[in-house]
Structure 1
Amino acid sequence: MSKVTFRVFVGFVVTLVLALSGIATTTATAAPATTAQITVFRADGTTPVGQSVIHPGDTLVVKGAGFDPNANRYGLPVPVPPGVPHGTFIAFGAFAPNWKPSAGAPESARATNRSAVKWALAPSALAQVPTAPFDLRRTIRQQWVPLRADGSFTAKIVATTPKTIPAGARYGIYTYGAAGADNPAQERSVPINYSTAPGPNTPAEARRDLVWAYSPSFHRIVTQTAGGGISGSDGAGVDPRGNLTYTRTSSNLRNGTGEIRYRGTIVAFSRFHLAEIALVDPVIRVRNGRGVLSMATSTTNMNGTDALRRVDIADVDLSSIGNGSDVRGAAATFRPGITPEVLAALSMGPAAPLTLNFPQN
């Protein structure tokens, strides 16, 4: 993808986001009903959550009944086309006292992490979501739970702490119409006694053995220009300054020559996941103080971690690394041949410097 093509692509994403934000959606609003209900259980699916203290990483099982699979036919025109049932979001998060979309509450009133939001949708509706020119069906499948013909569903959600919490927010499980479909009959909630303190299932915080912003503009383009986000897992993280961090798994450096391996998965995505690229498990090959950084990256512009291939990303000056000395601000230069095309376009300018941290002996 050329620089011009990338600008067109980003322009399309931005235009679509702006257009959708201003759309006066036609909403099929159902009359409030008492049939839609949710019950929340611990991870075994049978023990009611009650007042149990839930920590980050704990699994909750949500069982719903009475959710009309034919409702919510209008809202945002993507990813579900108008006229097709949009389904229902099931979310763990911190919601403001006035959180209901049907009452005009903004999205900012519903603080969640995407991994803690499931999407109940009838299989027949999912089959009508387009796969070209963007695979919008994949976008839903990442969160999908089947909404059965009798209006029931079962969703497993792992509790996580949102980054920004609205004033007066209450933690809980919430359901509401998906993709801009306002339906007060499906707006339900169950309070959860949630503690942000680590628990037995809380993932370990990602180490900062490799710290890299990728490029000076990477975080801004992904999160602001393309209206998306960047997330880390399995040993990777994103720090408050937008740096990508990875955990070292091995190093056999001797006199500035050897190999350093890291683990972790970073996923950068645009609004509606029209673009989604992964940066996974970096490896730095070092010879006489000259390093080559490779990563496993997505094979297409929007398949995330579905399929990966290893690509050399950058040359790195590691002349001072020796047998494993800390390196601050190592100069890096992007290599040609980076894939997929969106990542290549994001690599056309200067690369950000790297920091490598080693344990002190």
Structure 2
Amino acid sequence: MKSARSLFVLLVAVCTVVAGGVLPGGRAAAAPSWKPSLAVYLADGVTPAGQTPLHPGDVVVVKGTGYDPNANTSGLPVPVPPGVPHGTFIAFGGFAPVWRPSQKAPESSRALDRGQTRWAISNSALNRVPDAPFDMRRTIRQQAVPLRADGRFTARVTLTTPKNVPAHARWGIYTYGAADAVNASQEKYVPLDYSTAPGPNTPKPAVENLVWAYSPSFAPTFTGTTQGSVIGRNGSSVAKNGDLSFELVSNTVKGGSGELRYRGTIIAYTKFHLAEIALADPIIRVRGDHAVLSLKTSSTNMNGDDALRRIDIADLTLTPRMRARIARGENVTGCPAVFRPGITPELLQAVSIGAASPVNLRF
């Protein structure tokens, strides 16, 4: 009995030594020294950005070292659960001189494009983010760059001009704790010589040929009620009043029959991307005084443009004058639309209840 007790005491002592970081031979285990440092390079990943003039559409490569992958365990409870390292945001933007969360600077002091913000997070932390009943792991994965065990990350960031830039803003790359985690040591800033004027890599504005608000509740639901946003890409744009637009690809309407095909993708999402749906590549099939508008839409409420399928969305009524103008490639405004029953996914159906907004065609 005495020998068993002695063995137990010995095991406890060994575990205590190992947990305390003492190695055999009396050598102390070296604890990592987390001293975050940030460097920004041009798109080649080698040339320091320095004072190089930059414009919307230019790409920079951001390299960080010394960022503790196990830090930032407190903050918002979603999308990263409490106790799981929240990671670090890597953002380009125009920030006010006083911008640091550790100094209680408001969110309005940090103007950025969330679609281009990167999220440095370890793979182990990402795998602990739930994917059901809401796929919050997908939310982060869209922005994620790996934060390695040694505290390094590399991120490519496309420069875009954000909205609501505060007074006296300073353009640059910023890092700070993700999802409301506050960590003063990770609040870093590298200035960039950025101009909002178009440059050689600035995308041309999307051509607004099909203009449609979808429904009076579409934009307010996402930008207001659910605190999310509506964005356009690849031929689509979103106006301040909530109108969605798509670029015309072809017009084969002749003799009162044919198709109008468009390109572009609209992404509408709620806060934290708990719900995210897409509308893409409309087609209007014209048959006399009747037309059908179809769209590629998300297969679920939460997968955005990951998986799309085409469905008929609305019936359009065309007057003889409208048909003649379409055939001649002339603008048509105020074309009446009526939603079809059975629209999916459920979130899209919810903003399809009631009247559809009129459709405007521009050539």
| TM-score calculated relative to the size of structure 2 | 0.88
| Matched position secondary structure for 2:140 | helix
Mapping of residues 13-162 of structure 1, within 5 Å: 35-162=35-162
Q: Is the 8 A contact 1:318 1:327 kept in 2?
A: no
Deviation, 1:223, is 0.6
Deviation, 1:163, is 1.6
Paired residue for 1:340?
A: 345
Among 319, 327, 338, the alignment partner of 2:332 is 327
Paired residue for 1:181?
A: 181
Deviation, 1:318, is 2.5
CA spacing shift, 1:34–1:193, aligned 2, 3 Å: farther
Deviation, 1:321, is 2.7
Deviation, 1:71, is 0.4
Mapping of residues 161-180 of structure 1, within 5 Å: 161-180=161-180
Paired residue for 2:216?
A: 216
| Matched position secondary structure for 1:321 | helix
| Matched position secondary structure for 1:119 | strand
Paired residue for 2:290?
A: 290
Paired residue for 1:355?
A: 360
| Matched position secondary structure for 1:329 | strand
Deviation, 1:235, is 0.5
Deviations 1:231-271 (CA, angstroms, capped at 9, x unpaired): 00001000121100110000111132110000001000000
Deviation, 1:325, is 2.8
Aligned counterparts of 1:166 and 1:316: Cα–Cα separation in 2: 44
Aligned counterparts of 1:327 and 1:241: Cα–Cα separation in 2: 20
Deviation, 1:208, is 1.0
Determine if the alignment matches structure 1 residue 303 to structure 2 residue 308: no
Aligned counterparts of 1:167 and 1:286: Cα–Cα separation in 2: 50
| Matched position secondary structure for 2:323 | coil
Deviation, 1:65, is 0.2
Deviation, 1:34, is 8.0
Structure 2 unaligned segments of length 5 or more: list them.
Answer: 1-32
| Matched position secondary structure for 1:196 | coil
| Matched position secondary structure for 2:293 | strand
Deviations 1:83-119 (CA, angstroms, capped at 9, x unpaired): 0100000000111111101110111111111122000
Paired residue for 1:280?
A: 280
Aligned counterparts of 1:56 and 1:227: Cα–Cα separation in 2: 26
Larger Rg: 2
Q: Is the 8 A contact 1:171 1:191 kept in 2?
A: yes
Deviation, 1:161, is 0.6
Q: Is the 8 A contact 1:256 1:318 kept in 2?
A: no
Structure with larger RCO (C-alpha < 8 A, sep 6+): 1
Deviation, 1:317, is 1.8
| Matched position secondary structure for 2:310 | strand
Aligned counterparts of 1:192 and 1:123: Cα–Cα separation in 2: 30
Deviations 1:116-153 (CA, angstroms, capped at 9, x unpaired): 20000000000100011100000000000000000000
Aligned counterparts of 2:140 and 2:34: Cα–Cα separation in 1: 27
Q: Which amino acid aligns with 1:276?
A: E
Structure 1 unaligned segments of length 5 or more: list them.
Answer: 1-32
Q: Which runs of 4+ in 1 moved over 6 A?
A: none
Aligned counterparts of 1:326 and 1:250: Cα–Cα separation in 2: 15
Q: Which amino acid aligns with 2:349?
A: A
| Matched position secondary structure for 2:125 | helix
Paired residue for 1:250?
A: 250
Aligned length: 326
Tell me the C-alpha RMSD between the 2 structures.
1.0
Question: % of aligned pairs identical?
Answer: 60
Aligned counterparts of 2:318 and 2:194: Cα–Cα separation in 1: 45
Q: Which amino acid aligns with 1:61?
A: V
Aligned counterparts of 2:180 and 2:293: Cα–Cα separation in 1: 42
Paired residue for 1:11?
A: none
